[in-house]
């Protein structure tokens, strides 16, 4: 989740001990080798690259055992990967109470060609609201572990591999006796998942490999950040590519150069313009992370880049054997300035990927290849056959590449052009009929709407246990979100109050508020038991419901303590039974700032409003709690002012319930 400068320094020092000083590195975390400075240096540069790889493998006593495991053979063809929030409404339907994997996969297939792997994320930013740890949150997903297992199987039926995160920094919540590697691999075995992504990790450590060996359940390992020690490439089968700080000449992935079967997913979550990310991925023949739901903030892949990904996917999947070739050759010589190519040879064919780093369209000759009798050449990017121009013992291939665009060429013996190749050429020809530059490159924020809270019947007398809150005109309502991330997309982070045009972290508004009554205290265990006894209420999702009660009652002495482990739905049910409702955020805040009600802050978070957009539901929590998870800055933060709110992502009642969230009610006058 974070950018780590130290990680870049570690890798920079490590590589430079073993690599010529005139071979600079590239990228935000120095995960790339820079290419040759000029064409005349190409052969020398390539020889030095090969020498480095050979010597580095010897020094590390490198073994490729983990890449030879049949259970993990899928890794090298897991090209398109997405991190998805477990809370995403396309993945889980809270109304029907069921996972909707097909809906999610059909949507991304239609927009950009579909996925090979997915990481389901149920933890941050909610983790730390109470002492539930990363294992608890997976187990609290709808249906419990059995429900999660079935969801994983639904993905795998569609040919999509499933990852879950390693929250390596989760050391301040409920402790368990088992070590983290063993506990996580065991959980993955239970739910049938395929991989683990090490959040904030500088390489997934060897104890995770040892854990999957001991449990007899190999899982693919993938760190978020750069691999700080190259010996870890032997068991880190994949990685993310934080390649930012892009150069004009694309860089070469260090990990893929060292181990061609290592899969990289280029990741740049907050970027709207995906050109650099996709060009670097295509140049290296590696994958891409199509991450759109970022902690409940939607950053949709614009149509232009979705169309590019769709073509990349078609080419990647049509020739799966070439991308892990041990003979892949970056910076294959090209004819025109600004065009950079890589050759991916396999038995009887070669695919060349090309990127135009110039903003100008490039026409005419692009590649010069050795002449071979009986060869056919195809412009894969546009799905058309090329007419080679023979010049001595060379052939010249000409085709257009638009400014900041892409190209791909297939060289293959004519006798080997079969129906499957003709089919992919037809597919790419159809895709090429839509000009990529005619498509939008913008990503607009999703519009949110406030879930209505119906008014209660008017009450002329102050109800027992409530306080009259007088009306106010011209109240200066100021709302500030405490979310850790998201300022890169200022018109998407936070919430969209009814009077605003788009979401925002902080907002100000002058408003009138009618008089109402508010509970003097948060709803207590005693009051909630009265509701249970009277109404016989039983939620459909019982996971974590009143989990600190025993035998349908609270512990002795807890009568007047705020009830917790109740979902937003549970709180609404109580309020309806009591002839009350939950407060709006501004009603809660106005009361807390101006009137004498008790325990507004510091005991339990309190449910108020719910907001929804097409992909995310979120509740506004007010007041903070007495619980603080220690040991990491990534835990759910506390509020420090009455005008601050916590944005709490909603999925289903079981995972939404927390030991630190309660509520109080209001009634209309």
- Tens digit of each residue's pLDDT (9 = 90 or more) over 25-59: 999 999 999 999 988 899 999 999 999 999 999 99
For residue range 318-364, list pLDDT tens digits in order. Answer: 999 999 999 999 999 999 999 999 999 999 999 999 999 999 999 99
How much is the average pLDDT of 401-427?
98
Q: Which of 25-29, 163-167, 259-263 has the lowest mean pLDDT?
A: 25-29
Distance CA 312, CA 665 (A): 54
pLDDT value, residue 452: 98
pLDDT value, residue 324: 98
Read off the tokens for 533: 């006894």
**pTM listed for this prediction:** 0.96
pLDDT at 13 over 80: no
pLDDT band for position 485 (cuts 50, 70, 90):
very high
Beta bridge partners of 413: 375
SS3 450: strand
Please say whether the beta carbons of 355 and 279 come within 8 A. yes
Q: How would you label 29-67 residue by residue, b for 16+ Cβ within 10 Å and e otherwise?
A: bbbbbbbbeeeeebeebbebbeebbeebbeebebeeebb
Contacts of 109 (CB under 8 A, 6+ apart): 115
pLDDT at 16 over 50: no
pLDDT at 15 over 70: no
Distance CA 4, CA 633 (A): 14
User: Read out DSSP for 533-557?
Assistant: HHH----S--TTTTTT-BTTBPPTT
413 to 290, 379, 408: CA distances (angstroms): 35, 15, 17
Question: At how many degrees (to 10) do helices 275-284 and 303-318 cross?
Answer: 10
Distance CA 485, CA 481 (A): 10
H-run or E-run covering 315: helix 303-318
For residue range 553-593, list pLDDT tens digits in order. Answer: 999 999 999 999 999 999 999 999 999 999 999 999 999 99
Q: What is the mean pLDDT of the chain?
A: 96
pLDDT at 627 over 60: yes
pLDDT at 666 over 70: yes
pLDDT at 173 over 90: yes
Give the Cβ contact number of residue 298 at 10 Å.
21
Residue with tokens 């997976």: 138
For residue range 433-476, list pLDDT tens digits in order. Answer: 999 999 999 999 999 999 999 999 999 899 999 999 999 999 99
pLDDT at 234 over 50: yes
pLDDT at 183 over 60: yes
Tell me the CB-side half-sphere exposure of residue 44, using CA atoms within 13 A: 9
DSSP one-letter code for 587: H
Tell me the helices (H) and strands (E) count for the chain, helix number first: 15, 34
pLDDT at 24 over 90: no
pLDDT at 22 over 80: no
Nearest to 407 by CA among 471, 457, 334, 348: 334
Contacts of 413 (CB under 8 A, 6+ apart): 348, 349, 374, 375, 376
Alpha helices by DSSP H, 17-114: 42-60, 101-112
pLDDT value, residue 23: 73
- In the chain the domains, ranked by start, together with CATH numbers, are 5-318 (3.20.20.70), 329-438 (2.60.40.1180), 449-668 (3.90.1580.10)
How much is the average pLDDT of 493-511?
97
pLDDT value, residue 205: 98
For residue range 508-519, list pLDDT tens digits in order. Answer: 999 999 999 999
Distance CA 62, CA 43 (A): 26
pLDDT value, residue 20: 41
Q: Among residues of the chain, what percentage have pLDDT more than 90?
A: 96
pLDDT value, residue 1: 63
The DSSP bridge pattern shows strands 25-26 and 32-33 to be: antiparallel
Q: Which of 13-22, 307-316, 381-390, 525-534 has the lowest mean pLDDT?
A: 13-22
The DSSP bridge pattern shows strands 661-662 and 349-356 to be: unpaired
Using a CB cutoff of 8 Å and minimum separation of 24, what contacts does 271-278 make?
272/299, 272/302, 272/441, 272/442, 272/443, 273/441, 274/301, 274/302, 274/305, 274/308, 275/305, 275/404, 276/243, 276/246, 277/243, 278/305, 278/308, 278/309, 278/312, 278/406
């Amino acid at each position: 989740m974070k950018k780590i400068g130290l990680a870049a320094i570690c890798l920079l020092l490590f590589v430079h001990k073993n690599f010529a000083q005139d071979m600079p590195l590239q990228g935000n975390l120095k995960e790339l080798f820079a290419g040759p400075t000029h064409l005349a240096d190409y052969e020398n540069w390539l020889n030095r690259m090969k020498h480095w790889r050979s010597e580095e493998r010897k020094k590390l006593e490198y073994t490729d055992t983990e890449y030879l495991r049949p259970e993990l053979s899928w890794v090298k063809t897991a090209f398109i990967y997405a991190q998805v929030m477990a809370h995403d409404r396309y993945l889980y339907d809270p109304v029907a109470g069921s996972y909707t994997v097909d809906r999610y996969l059909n949507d991304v297939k239609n927009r950009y060609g579909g996925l090979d792997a997915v990481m389901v994320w149920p933890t941050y930013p909610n983790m730390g609201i109470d002492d539930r740890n990363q294992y608890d949150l997976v187990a609290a997903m709808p249906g419990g572990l059995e429900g999660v297992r079935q969801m994983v199987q639904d993905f795998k039926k569609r040919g999509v591999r499933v990852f879950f995160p390693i929250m390596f920094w989760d050391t301040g919540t409920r402790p368990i006796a088992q070590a983290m590697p063993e506990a996580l691999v065991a959980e993955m075995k239970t739910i049938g998942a395929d991989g683990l992504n090490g959040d904030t990790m500088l390489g997934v450590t060897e104890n995770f490999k040892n854990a999957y060996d001991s449990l007899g359940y190999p899982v693919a390992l993938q760190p978020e950040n750069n691999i700080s020690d190259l010996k870890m490439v032997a068991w880190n089968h994949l990685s993310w590519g934080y390649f930012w700080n892009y150069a004009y000449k694309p860089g070469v992935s260090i990990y893929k150069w060292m181990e061609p079967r290592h899969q990289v997913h280029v990741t740049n979550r907050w970027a709207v313009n995906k050109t650099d990310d996709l060009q670097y991925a295509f140049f290296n023949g590696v994958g891409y992370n199509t991450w759109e739901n970022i902690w409940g903030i939607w950053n949709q892949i614009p149509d232009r880049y979705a169309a590019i990904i769709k073509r990349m996917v078609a080419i990647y999947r049509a020739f799966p054997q070439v991308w892990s070739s041990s003979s892949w050759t970056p910076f294959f010589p090209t004819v025109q300035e600004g065009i950079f190519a890589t050759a991916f040879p396999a038995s009887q064919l070669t695919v060349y990927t090309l990127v135009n780093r110039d903003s100008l369209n490039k026409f005419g000759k692009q590649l010069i290849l050795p002449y071979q009798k009986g060869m056919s050449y195809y412009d894969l990017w546009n799905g058309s056959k090329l007419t080679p121009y023979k010049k001595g013992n060379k052939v010249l291939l000409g085709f257009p590449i638009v400014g900041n665009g892409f190209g791909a060429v297939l060289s293959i013996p004519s006798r080997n052009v079969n129906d499957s190749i003709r089919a992919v050429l037809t597919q790419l020809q159809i895709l090429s009929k839509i000009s990529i530059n005619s498509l939008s490159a913008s990503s607009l924020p999703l519009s949110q709407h406030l879930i209505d809270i119906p008014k209660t019947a008017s009450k002329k007398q102050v109800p027992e246990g409530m306080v009259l809150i007088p009306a106010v005109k011209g109240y200066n309502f100021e709302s500030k979100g405490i979310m850790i991330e998201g300022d890169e997309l200022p018109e998407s982070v936070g919430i969209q109050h009814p009077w605003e045009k788009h979401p925002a972290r902080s907002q100000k508004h002058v408003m009138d508020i009618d008089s109402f009554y508010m509970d003097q205290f948060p709803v207590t265990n005693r009051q909630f038991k009265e509701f249970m006894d009277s109404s016989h209420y039983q939620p459909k999702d019982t996971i974590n419901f009143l989990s600190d009660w025993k035998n349908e009652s609270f512990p002795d002495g807890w009568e007047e303590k705020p009830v917790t482990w109740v979902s937003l739905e549970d709180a609404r049910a109580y309020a309806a039974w009591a002839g009350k409702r939950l407060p709006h955020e501004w009603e809660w805040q106005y009361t807390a700032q101006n009137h004498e009600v008790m325990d507004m802050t510091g005991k339990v978070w309190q449910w108020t409003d719910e907001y929804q957009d097409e992909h995310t539901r979120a509740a506004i929590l007010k007041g903070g709690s007495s619980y603080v998870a220690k040991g990491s800055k990534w835990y759910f933060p506390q509020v420090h002012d009455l005008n601050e709110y916590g944005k709490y992502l909603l999925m289903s009642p079981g995972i939404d319930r927390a030991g630190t969230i309660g509520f109080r009610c209001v009634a209309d006058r």
